Structure 1
């Protein structure tokens, strides 16, 4: 049986396939009956469902992550970054980590209310909250729903520290909040710049802000007094890894003073999604990319071991680390995590109606 003819990619979407969600009992597989003709796939609309979340601060104890709590206003991400490590989480919803992840989204409209409740709980001890650790808080639907904005308002009023990770230039919309917080030492922003090539960016992360816009956002944030770090993430061998130094130089020129990098991670269904994408756009490089990744992961497509899962091991990983450190020294930039946010300004928010005083 010959392999099925794949339709051309959906315009404006990152994944070119929708692999079976690993927890579902049924799977479908296409086959070529000789009649199918590859043609442009129809546009896919974005479907947003409102989720009545029961809590909003997620906790983690991962030793290689610089925070122990995070907030994700959305599940799924319309940016459509083909490499996104969060894609496999959609399988927990019975949805495909492929196209479903970027078209079937879930929003948490009660996020600010829940955050107020959790920050005002007796015994709460403030530590920096990562906003957007799993999916981007400034993806396109934020323009309409403004959930991230509402969360920031709660954090700003209570003096709670926050670190934001985003590819969305929309972050500059909230400079009225982030500027004072940044100058007070309670906010910092990490802007992910994966490539400076607009053609590659459009293929790899179709609905994220263009590279030029992200650099402009770094400049605007920095000029407003917000500490900014740049993330060259992920580095994909043979696709964008050669841009590491150029990304750091451009971000430094725009005002970023910290930097980090992550090598492509391929947990669960992401292996298939990235492979399909490579075969579609860079068929001559697909096997080479996976060969280098396996060399960095002890012969496997992915190794989730703490400490090495972000950077890998072996000769390629060592060379990448040396390139990164050399560039940092030349530019005078600090490694990610060099700036600690203040926690001493935190004042628990008052629950209840606006203007209502607390009984205690």
Structure 2
């Protein structure tokens, strides 16, 4: 097979990296293309994945439109020249547009219902859209639902082996109660209107009042008085930190889900709602979303309750339930990409096929 993978966000590197490694180990040709967004190229370098930057990052809707046009034209030129069997990405319209123009296959993954702009531009042209079973929107016959989460493509225990030395990197002892606090910039298109915290200093003070050691990962600069709490670890080691943390509190839905599947309880401070976080909360009690009138106050109340009654065994048992009932998502990626490529080849030979078997 010839497979194109496109990357628009650091989390997409994690999502695809194991599938890329397995496809290449089996002798398939994988080309990786990236938008020049913060951290993504660094992660690709850290994992030894070759890639090509096709377009710069954007900081406004007009620049996003320009960047998207540049991205799609560059991807179209590469696909015209290399003739891939399958293009795959997370919620990226470019792969569906290019595959439609060149009559190859697109496999789109999506877990974010409120990414309405990207989804609206991508879904009509996609050959198949793979979503977790908990995804709340109905997409139609092209939708393939599977019992898993994006984060289990790289944090399933078959894929992830945590390294405790990360605690030394952030100056935390094993017997300290560790809270990871995530602050986001809220400038992504699909994040508009989702702000959670108003005053990071108040959040840190309340968490530390319960005896916790706080380490912060932030998209913007921290206030000077919080600079010594900065979690200065390499981006590829953040999951080690989340695994050994006792609690995650933050504004990132992805990191909340990552924490949950690692067995670290997560308090998500945002007014945004997502099917996968709702399921991790309702079915497994590993995520707590605080999206009322005052997300910060709600988040601190929930975090305080977790720290006051912490039971490590209980959280580990909740994680075991997740792993028993949900799949290794990398296997889903491999099966869907392989099936799409096979059907593309058979279609070229004039062989008719029914719809792909659902996961």
TM class, shorter-chain normalised? 0.3 to 0.5
Question: TM-score if structure 2 supplies the norm length?
Answer: 0.36
Greater share of helix: 2
Greater share of strand: 2
Question: TM-score if structure 1 supplies the norm length?
Answer: 0.36
